[in-house]
Amino acid sequence: MTVAIVTGASRGLGLALALGLAENGYRLVIDARDATTLDRAQAEISQRAEVIAIVGDITDPAHRLALVQASDTLGGLDLLVNNAGILGPSPLPPLARLALVDYRRVLEVGVVAPLALSQLALPRLRARHGAVVNVTSDAAVEAYEGWGGYGSAKAALEQLSHVLAAEERDVRVWWVDPGDLRTRMHQQAFPGEDISDRPLPETVVPGFRRLLAERPPSGRFRAADLLAPVSA
């Protein structure tokens, strides 16, 4: 049986990915900060696969260790999905007014914690020729007003992923831009606006499944490209 850790899996893209992995036969370790939503996610996923849910903050070293140790109890670790992240203040402020305390929190959750969790996971992933998936954003490569904090964190995560891929020859490292999705975080970026035209998170799951099935070399991928038909 294959085993995956998916962070931030109580709702949105994280939950959709966890459900998709469960359908593909993965045993799962999931986490979130809110116990109520995590319990609901665990109940839904458990109908398809074995799942361990651990409440906690991904910036807490003890919590990260608990996630990795839980994967050991399921038989090992084949896949780490660093999905957890935060937007920062809403409405999104320009950089001139971005409070540094808020920016540090975005960086801790979106850059430092994924690296720290990857460091714990890498010995296990190397042994099983596993993979790391870091969820990124087009805000990492495009300049959108108000997105300086979140976007620069994702840019840092992308470069971190790129270097990790160069260093870890026995592990696949993929950083994936899922595109704009109809999630609570995306709604927070556009308070009061109707985002119902954005696709639901589950619509991009087949793209992630394709990535895992085909196991291309480490690199950056867009879900839109992974969802495109394969040319003859």
Q: What is the pLDDT, as a whole number, of residue 1?
A: 66
231 domain residue, yes or no? no
Q: Which residues are catalytic?
A: 150
Q: What is the CATH number of the domain that holds 118?
A: 3.40.50.720
Q: What is the pLDDT, as a whole number, of residue 190?
A: 80
Give the C-alpha separation, 54 to 84, whole Å.
14
Expressed as residue numbers, the domain containing 170 is 2-226
Residue identified by tokens 């696709």 is 199
Q: What is the pLDDT along the chain (232 residues), one digit of tens a residue?
A: 699 999 999 999 999 999 999 999 999 999 999 999 999 999 999 999 999 999 999 999 999 999 999 999 999 999 999 999 999 999 999 999 999 999 999 999 999 999 999 999 999 999 999 999 999 999 999 999 999 999 999 999 999 999 999 999 999 999 999 988 877 787 787 888 887 888 899 999 999 999 999 999 999 999 999 998 765 4
Residue identified by tokens 């469960």 is 22
48 domain residue, yes or no? yes
pTM of the full predicted structure? Answer: 0.95
Q: What is the pLDDT, as a whole number, of residue 230?
A: 62
Number of domains forming the structure of the chain: 1
